[in-house]
Amino acid sequence: MKVIFMGTPDFAVPCLRKLAESCHEVAAVFTQPDKPKGRGYKMVPTPVKAAAAEYDIPVYQPLSLRKGEDAEAAMDILHNIAPDLIVVTAYGQILPKEILELPKFGCINIHASLLPRYRGAAPINWVLLNGEEETGVTSMQMSEGLDTGDMLIKKSVKIGENETYSELYSRLAEIGGEVLEETIAALEAGSLTPEKQDDDLSCYSPMIKKEMSALDFTRTAAEVHNVIRGVTGFTMMGGKRLKVFASEISHNIAPAGPGEIVDTEKFAVSCSDGAVIFREIQLEGGKRMKTEDFLRGRKLTLGEKLG
């Protein structure tokens, strides 16, 4: 088949690699425009663009697929290529009806949740924020709604008790490639059985906002732990911002006042019903490090309050 791939972040790269190393022709890659990064604001290619370059696949980066000159030029390219299939993985743009109906086999999306649960932009963050124990990847036939198309293939995974966003993101990215491979094989074999989504079972995963990372120690230990896992938490310590990248719930340290350090050897902080142990942190002006390394150079004070 002649395939066009649309994707942008690291999450989409395993899917692109599966396609590029298959028997199918990846005629083009569409990805978001490059963005400036770092102190020098140097333009950096998207991860998908960088991967496409490894396979010498033509790359297009329209600002929009829905309006303006970029959209018109993109439509000309798509019509000229006349793909049999378009595969979309975390592209970051909404496809208009004209594109959805262009390929012979339509457009297939690889989504990082067990649909119809967690439709939307940030499913991996929200399954962690909500303390879910299971998630997965779903391939679906795209429609005009937001992640509402018929489901094709699902693969579920258990979520580790202390698993963080970056860890789960990497796992699901690889599973996404596997799901795509299975979906295309079934498509070619004519064995796909599309399943309509039950809207009554759906929930939405909106974009993450910066303020969601603030740790509120009046909440339960599980809630604080899930914020750290889902969006990287932060609090204040001695007038400096402290980022918390990984944690675990303490089951045997008695709580005190919310935000108080209740164990100086483990860096355990009291919540409303227990304590959270910080496992990986970064104090403002310092490096990201494991807590045990941080504690070699800094002594904590029992009862010191964070926040």
Q: Are residues 197 and 245 in the same domain?
A: no
pLDDT confidence of residue 38: 79
Residue 299: predicted pLDDT: 92
Q: Do residues 235 and 120 both lie within one domain?
A: no
Closest CA to 166 of 280, 291, 34: 280
Distance of CA 26 to the CA centre of its chain: 24
Q: Work out the average pLDDT over 113-122.
A: 97
Q: Are residues 196 and 227 in the same domain?
A: no
Q: Is the pLDDT of residue 17 over 80?
A: yes
Provide the number of structural domains found in the chain: 2
pLDDT digits (tens, 9 = 90+) for 290-302: 999 999 989 999 9
Name the residue range of residue 82's domain: 2-201
- Give the residue-averaged pLDDT of 188-200: 96
CATH of the domain at 139: 3.40.50.170
Domain match, 27 and 165 both: yes
Do 187 and 229 fall into the same domain? no
Q: What is the pLDDT of residues 129-149, one digit of tens each?
A: 999 999 999 999 999 888 999
For residues 160 and 265, membership in a common domain is answered with: no
- Give the percent of the chain with pLDDT over 90: 93
Q: What is the pLDDT of residues 54-96, one digit of tens each?
A: 999 999 999 999 999 999 999 999 999 999 999 999 999 999 9
Radius of gyration of the chain from its Cα atoms, rounded to whole angstroms: 22
> DSSP string of 260-273?
BEEETTTTEEE-SS
Kindly state whether residue 178 falls inside one of the protein's structural domains: yes
Q: What is the DSSP string of 25-61?
A: EEEEEE-PPPEEETTTTEEE--HHHHHHHHTT--EE-
What CATH number is attached to the domain comprising 278?
A: 3.10.25.10
Are residues 252 and 177 both part of a single domain?
Answer: no
